[in-house]
Amino acid sequence: MKNVFVTGASTGIGNATVRRLANNARVFAGVRSEADYRALGEVGPNVVPVYLDVVDENSIARAEAEVAAATGGSLDGLVNNAGIVVAAPLEIVPPAEFRKQLDVNVTGPLLVTQAFMPLLRAARGRIVMIGSISGKFSSPFMGAYSASKFALEAMSDALRLELAPFGIKVVLVEPGPVKTPLWQRTQDASDKSIGALDPAAVAPYAASIDKMRAMARKLEAGGSSPERVAEVVERALAVKSPRARYLVGREARVQLIVGRLPEGIRDKLILSAFAGAK
């Protein structure tokens, strides 16, 4: 039986991926809370919940040891899915929040990949990184998140080339907006973070922030389902010769086209969209 490890498995893309892969593989599901651990333990015999905090090296080491013991020292697939979104104007984003964004979305996948490499080498396994169209297209108030996803793109490209001689393939899945609880949690966290700032610093952005939230709700409502992304992840893990990148969702394709336009035209389109958002 194939063995796959999925980080960030409590909700959204990670949870959907665990459930889909469990039809044909044993899936180790990385979670942080006891409630999520218990919930995933009830999914079925092919799902093995594992406590994991992707920014805690001791937690990662314990998870790796647990998977190594259960599999006999090999791993066929690693899905680096865990991630957060920090949404705020870059001028006023709290430095601690910016660092957290990069720690979870960039350093975390690297630490997990490094820890699980011996198991992946043993099986000539495969690594799937869950990126985002925001790794190719940066929009207002999403600069911290886009910075993390642009960095993940670069890291994935380098890993793909570095690991190719060892038969380990690295694939990047790039969804557009996805209907997941992540975005509501993002808004709640953003409200709390911005609410703690000096009102005078926030005031110039207040109207634009409201428009950004309206646009985010609209995009999420029309976004891909987590199950659709999970289907692409399964394909990336299963096909003999996977593509380097898989774009997921109509909106991702639209944003990719806009992102390739000359900067002057692109900026006018984005600013116009914000001006019309309600």
pTM score, two decimals?
Answer: 0.91
Q: What is the number of helices (H) and of strands (E) in the chain?
A: 12, 7
Which residues are marked as active site? 145
Is the separation of the CB atoms in 219 and 251 below 8 Å? yes
The mean per-residue pLDDT over the stretch 100-123 comes to 98
| pLDDT digits 0-9 by tens, 239-264 | 999 999 999 988 889 888 988 999 99
> Residue 254: its pLDDT value, please?
87
- In this structure, the number of other CB atoms found within 10 A of the CB of residue 12 comes to 22
> Residue 206: its pLDDT value, please?
79
Considering 112-126, 190-204, 245-259, the range whose residues carry the highest mean pLDDT is 112-126
| CATH code 3.40.50.720 for 2-276 | yes
pLDDT at 186 over 70: no
| Cβ neighbours of residue 227 closer than 8 Å, sequence gap 6 or more | 16, 20
